[in-house]
């Protein structure tokens, strides 16, 4: 998941808050008996609730739906008695807001965590593929170098030269140990890979 900077976070929270406030103002200013504009404004509340769930998981979705509840409930309770069935519908709507806030928060939060895991796994697999390819490329030349140098080492009598060749062999061993570590690191991954990657 792309980690949010503080600025982006603040920007997103402000965007959600602004939406909730604007929709609430529109709602409070609209005529009580103009049901169609009511419905429009009421449905618009879904926008910030689902966005908040999408951006911030459960805390976002539930936070937004509770804010909407707090702002919208006084309006619903203040409705004239004449439209009581509409009032009851509005209360149901508030419950739905909260259920949706929680539900989509859970869904999006879960997806976010899965993405994070996938990202780590994919990075590790890519690293493993690179390391495995390099290790296989290094193996044969290193064995050849070690072999040739040791063959010469056995035939040379001069102490100075044998010391140098011993140093060279030591470094070859060091690189061979590195290759061994690399192959050990990639072995469990190899089982999952399709063939012909190197």
Residues that bind a second copy (CB under 8 A): 1-2, 35-36, 38-40, 43-44, 46-47, 50-51, 54, 85-86, 88-89, 92-93, 96, 100, 103-104, 107-108, 111, 114-115, 118-119, 122-127, 129-131, 134, 137-138, 141-142, 144-145, 148-149, 151-152, 155-156, 158, 161, 164-165, 167-168, 171-172, 174-175, 178, 182
Give the tokens for residue 28: 């409070």
Q: How far is the CB of 140 from a second copy (least distance, A)?
A: 8
- Three-state SS string across the chain, please? CCCCCHHHHHHHHHHHHHHHHHHHHHHHHCCCCCHHHHHHHHHHCHHHHHHHHHHHHHHHHHHHHHHHHHHHHHHHHCCCHHHHHHHHHHHHHHHHHHHHHHHHHHHHHHHHHHHHHHHHHHHHHHHHHHHHHHHHHHHHHHHHHHHHHHHHHHHCCCHHHHHHHHHHHHHHHHHHHHHHHHHHHHHHHHCCCCCCCC
Q: Which is nearer to a second copy, 35 or 66 (CB)?
A: 35
Q: Which is nearer to a second copy, 24 or 97 (CB)?
A: 97
Q: Which is nearer to a second copy, 156 or 184 (CB)?
A: 156
Cβ burial, residue 13 (10 Å; 0-12/13-18/19+): middle
Q: How far is the CB of 191 from a second copy (least distance, A)?
A: 19
Q: How far is the CB of 36 from a second copy (least distance, A)?
A: 5
Q: How far is the CB of 193 from a second copy (least distance, A)?
A: 14
Q: How far is the CB of 54 from a second copy (least distance, A)?
A: 7
């Amino acid at each position: 998941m792309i980690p949010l900077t503080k600025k982006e976070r603040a920007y997103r929270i402000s965007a959600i808050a602004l939406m909730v406030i604007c929709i609430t103002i529109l709602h409070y200013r609209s005529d009580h008996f103009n049901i169609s504009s009511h419905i429009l404004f009421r449905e618009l509340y879904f926008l910030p609730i689902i966005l908040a769930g999408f951006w911030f998981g459960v805390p976002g979705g539930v936070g937004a739906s509770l804010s909407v509840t707090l702002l919208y409930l006084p309006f619903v309770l203040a409705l004239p008695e004449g439209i009581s069935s509409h009032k009851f519908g509005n209360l149901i709507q508030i419950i739905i807001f909260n259920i949706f806030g929680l539900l989509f928060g859970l869904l999006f939060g879960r997806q976010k965590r899965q993405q994070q895991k996938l990202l780590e796994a994919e990075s590790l697999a890519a690293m493993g593929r690179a390391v495995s390819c390099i290790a296989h490329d290094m193996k044969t030349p290193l064995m050849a170098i070690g072999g040739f140098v040791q063959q010469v080492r056995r035939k040379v009598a001069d102490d100075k030269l044998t010391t140098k060749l011993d140093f060279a062999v030591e470094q070859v061993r060091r690189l061979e140990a590195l290759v061994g570590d690399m192959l050990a690191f990639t072995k469990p991954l190899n089982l999952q890979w399709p063939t012909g990657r190197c």
